[in-house]
Structure 1
Amino acid sequence: MKIIVSNRSGVPIYEQIKAQIKEAIFSGELQEDDLLPSIRQLAKDLKISVITTTRAYNDLEEEGFIVSVQGKGCYVLPQNKEMARENALRKVELGLTDAIAAAKAGGIAKDEVAEMLNVLYKEDNYE
């Protein structure tokens, strides 16, 4: 797992870390019981404060993504299927929002967009 942070982003660094770890969990890159880098090691690798990585890990633990085991490190918890589905729905909603904006800008009717969606579903054998 590679985490990349940007000082130029309007998003706080700890939020960037959280988002990337969550994405790695949802994508399956990180599996249940995988050991995360230590707080100190991650801070060193990213050249950021230990306080920042601690906040990201604490938030992830509060949200039920990881567990901290005293003296051993932080491990990925099993994921709730409902949470994974909610994440997928959020991604679809974002993609559809972008598609709708592009369709409106291009003068493409709602019916045409719906037809494209149906065609794409059929092509990928989702029906």
Structure 2
Amino acid sequence: MDIIISNTSKDPIYQQIIKQIKELVLKGELLEGDSLPSIRQLAKDLQVSVITTKRAYEELENEGFIVSIVGKGSFIASQNQELLKERRLKIIEEKICEIIDESKLIHFSKEELIELINILYGDDPE
């Protein structure tokens, strides 16, 4: 499991950890039952405070992404596939909104954007 902490990110370190673990779960790179590094080990690996990694794990557990078992560690929780799909759809919607906002800034029309999507999707008739 590779987590990269950016000192230039506007997000706090614990949120960067949460975001990256969630992405690994959503992409299917971390599966139900997979073990996570201990809080201390992750803190050591990332060279951050144990408090930071503890907070990230607690929030992931509260959101149902991981389960922690005393004396055994933290593991990826069973995920409802429909819920995972819904979360991924939300991510897509947020990115599309960003693209639309950027397109409007340069006066890129909806039709031009749709044409670009078709080309990138491989649906261009040419």
Measured against the shorter chain, the TM-score band is: 0.7 to 0.9
Q: How many residues align?
A: 124
2:91 alignment partner, SS class = helix
Q: Percent identity?
A: 52
Match of 1:101 in 2: 101
Match of 1:17 in 2: 17
**1:1-127 paired onto structure 2 within 5 Å:** 1-117=1-117, 121=121, 123=123
Consecutive unaligned residues in structure 2, runs of 5 or more: none
Consecutive unaligned residues in structure 1, runs of 5 or more: none
Q: CA deviation at 1:68?
A: 0.6
Hey, what's the Cα distance between the residues in 1 that align with 2:98 and 2:62? 31
1:79 alignment partner, SS class = coil
Q: CA deviation at 1:113?
A: 2.7
Amino acid at match of 2:61: E
Hey, what's the Cα distance between the residues in 2 that align with 1:11 and 1:115? 34
TM norm structure 2: 0.84
| 1:95/1:46 CA distance change after superposition, 3 Å | same
Hey, what's the Cα distance between the residues in 2 that align with 1:110 and 1:6? 34
Over aligned residues, Cα RMSD in angstroms?
2.1
